[in-house]
Structure 1
């Protein structure tokens, strides 16, 4: 069984479980899938990729809240919202010089989830972070399954 098929199997099973968990806990399943996506897309894997994905998503949540609350200070100056968005988007990219904030798409995932969730960070944060845990479990259980199948195939081939 190749790696892609193994990851597909574990991702399919755990995606169904995530859907049930999200509904059971009152979380946003779509935001959790964004957390999964962040882990899968992060160039670093393993625990390092988990922490980088988590840190960047949480920074994105914070940046989105800054834009939302900053724009609310002067709602009659619509241009302020656009300027703040531009400045913050610049800062979201510049922060990538720090290792734990180096995954720029993760930052934008966190920000977009916050905008889509209308700034309800108390719901967005656990949804994203538990989704990240599921993404880690999906990919790494798939890698484990592929390695196990490869070991079994090698033992069978050697014993023949």
Structure 2
């Protein structure tokens, strides 16, 4: 039960999170590069068009290659998962909890005490769940980084839950 995180408070649906399964989630972020990038609004149509264009160019240059033969790409992804430092945005989980319209603050509950953040800043939190391929067992299960990375050197640790007030 030490690895379970709760989202509760003024929400329609209290949520229980298990960071141990996030390694399989497509929303995971590579934290070794995430804060170094300029975070721009993601245009889904543009990303889709680029992905299809890349695939089309590849088929023209190399001929049709079917997924089972892409062993080197699978090996690279597997290696990345085993050695990477990953995080997960908190925003989708807050949306799924459906907070009340009166919510003004997000309180990060930890064994070190509570930290109150304005809800807008709380929605930008990134939860680090893996460092160098290993789960955060000693002072985890997650670390919380602000969306702008301003606390990269000193993240919020020992987090047990989030409360919306």
TM range (shorter): under 0.3
Does 1 or 2 have the higher relative contact order (CA < 8 Å, sep 6+)?
1
> Between Structure 1 and Structure 2, which shows a larger proportion of helix residues?
1
Give the TM-score of the pair, scaled to structure 1: 0.24
Give the TM-score of the pair, scaled to structure 2: 0.24
